[in-house]
Every structure is written in structure tokens, then in C-alpha cells.
Amino acid sequence: MKRDSRVRTIRMRESSHKEVSMALPTNMQALRLESFAGPEGLFVREVAIPTPRAGQVLVKMRTAAVNPSDLMFLRGRYGVRREPPTTPGFEGCGVVVAAGSGFGQMLIGRRVACAAQGEFGTWAEYTIASATSCFPLRAAVNDDQGAMMLVNPLTAWAMLDTAQRAGHRGVVINAANSALGRMIIRVAVVRGIPTIAVVRSNTYVAELTALGATQVLVSSDADFGQQLREASERLKVTMAFDAIAGAQTGELLNAMPRGAHVLVYGALSLAPVQVDVGTLLFGQRRVEGFWLSEWIAKYGMRRVVPAMIELQTRLLPAIDTTPIGHYALADAAAGIRAYQDNMGAGKIILQLGS
């Protein structure tokens, strides 16, 4: 499709804080979801570049991440639902090139990690974001790391912070071989928190042990429940991070001591949470959902800003994830399909600009 040659001029602040004129095209390429059919519903389209309103910024995207939450969104199953046609993508990295009135003016010219806002996703050459959902990146953070800075690292930080603030001494992590599971283990090591990693097979036991997991258990073992009970007692673990849901939520809750708490943050089993009511009534145990968006809304910048500072400094080696592939917009649907078919292989990045 022929690109629109018309341009509009904005004022962009360089790193030296001088203002220079910069011309933007009127239109852009975006990956559009045209039906809730997963990757098969994605098509590259030319759309108008949006204009930021008060409190918003326009980000020229460089890279964007693909997460399990994105795959759920592509099928209309996520907590945030926008009717097609729409541009997906929850996080990415780019440079702020324009801003509406307010705080965003201070971000012009800055490279940022950004979260999508409203109808605007990050799988496009430009996106709109709230100025308060953009976080300037240190030079030590590359564009790939910047694209993956929010969803997984901030979730790992927030859940471990939740556990520590509630007085839990250690945590159980299922789906521990996932990108987020591995990240939680590495961050827990830095913070000195014991972890029990749960996986489905022996394939990842040695690797996760080397990564720093205190103990690795295999959920397909016949005596898994007893192993988890003994490990939880020995390590005084009373909180679990559950990415699977279904029957495993109840297994985790039953195996941990009285006062145990399960945070359910995913549903890889695609099954409802299954918990015996007696466990809740008589074991002083509880189950709670965790959604990063709600955590941010609850605690705001007073927790998010310290988290982002620590993630870009002390915890940067712990959250570093090397993507297994980069895909331009034209090849993005195929890349997302491959990621969907084998999420355990690693993360992919959409390459949107430079």
C-alpha cells in the first residue's frame, strides 16, 4: 500500500534539551486485529497517526513485546477487551515525539518503556500512551529489554513485594520454566527469598536449580503433593504464584501450611479454579487473583517508580531476557503464531523502527 506523503511538523526536544523541528507522516503501518481469531485475525494496515490529548504522549515505537496476555487478547479472552478492528500490544519501547499538555511535555525526546492506553496498542509504528505510563530508560537498558520492561518484570517485582509485605518468607512458583517464572526465581535470589519451582516434567529441573530455585518439583510425580507439603514446611513457604489455575490451585493450597495464600495470575489450564471449600473454611487459607493493572491502580506511582528504578539498576541482570527472534510487521503474524505454538522456547520481539 502506498504510504501517505503528507507530513505534520512537531517540536522535538533532543537529549541536549534543545528543541528542533521534526516532521511526522500523517499515516503509519499498524498490526490490526480484525477478528478474535488469534494470530490468524492479524493484518498489517495503514492507519492515521493519532494526536495526543492532555496527559498523553505520542511514542515512535522501536520494539514491542509479545506476552501470553496478548494471546488471550487476540481471542477476546483477556480482562481488557477492545472490539476489532483494533491494534493489540500491551507494552513496548520507543521515543516520545509529541505530547499533549501537561507532564508529557517533559518526556519529549526521551526513550521510554511504555504501556498501551485505551484503543491504542503498541504493535504499530506509533502509539498513544498516558504520560504516567511511560518510564524513561537508562542507557544500560537496550530496546529489547525496554520492550519487555513492564509486563513481566513489574509483575515479578509486584508479586514478590506483595509476598514480602504480607510477611511470607518464601514462595511456590508453578509454570516455573516460563519467561516470567524464571524471572521471579532470579529476582527472588537477589532478594534472598526461598523458592519452590514447579514444572510438569524433569526436562527443566537441572536448569532451574542452576538458575537459583531452592527446590524444583515435578507436578507429574505420583507423590508431588507430599513433596510439596514437605518442602513448604521445611522452607516455611506460605504463598504461591499460580499461572495455571484449574485443579492445581487447590493442590498448591492444600500442600502449604495453615495461613497459606495463593495468588492466581494466569489460567494456562483454561480451567476454572478448583478449591475444596473446607480448605478455605478450616485451614485459614485463601485464594486471590492478581492483575498487574489493578495493582498499579491501587498503589500508583509510589510503588511503580521505586520498582522501575530497581528493575533498571540492581535487578537488571535478573530480569534480562534474550528474545529468540525478531519480526518486522510484515512477518509479525507468523512470528506470533510460532510463539503461541511453543511459548516455552522463549520470547519474541516485534521490530517496529529504529
Mean pLDDT over 275-283 rounds to 86
In a shared domain, residues 161 and 287: yes
The per-residue pLDDT for 8 is 53
The per-residue pLDDT for 285 is 92
d(CA 139, CA 216): 36
**DSSP structure string for 174-220:** SSTTSHHHHHHHHHHHHHT--EEEEESSGGGHHHHHHHT-SEEEETT
CATH of the domain at 167: 3.40.50.720
In a shared domain, residues 92 and 173: no
In a shared domain, residues 109 and 180: no
In a shared domain, residues 144 and 160: no
Q: Which domain holds residue 189?
A: 152-294
Q: Is the pLDDT of residue 346 over 50?
A: yes
The residue written with cell numbers 494471546 in the block is 71
pLDDT in tens, 106-137: 999 999 999 988 889 999 999 999 999 999 99
Q: Are strands 171-173 and 239-242 parallel, antiparallel or unpaired?
A: parallel
pLDDT band, residue 22 (cuts 50/70/90): low
Mean pLDDT over 164-176 rounds to 96
| Domain assignment of residue 306, yes or no | no
d(CA 308, CA 115): 13
Mean pLDDT over 227-238 rounds to 96
In a shared domain, residues 205 and 278: yes
| Domain assignment of residue 307, yes or no | no
In a shared domain, residues 159 and 118: no
The per-residue pLDDT for 15 is 38
pLDDT band, residue 283 (cuts 50/70/90): confident
| Domain assignment of residue 305, yes or no | no
Q: Is the pLDDT of residue 147 over 80?
A: yes
The per-residue pLDDT for 16 is 35
Between these two residues, 314 and 284, which has the higher pLDDT value? Answer: 314
In a shared domain, residues 58 and 33: yes
Between these two residues, 179 and 312, which has the higher pLDDT value? Answer: 312
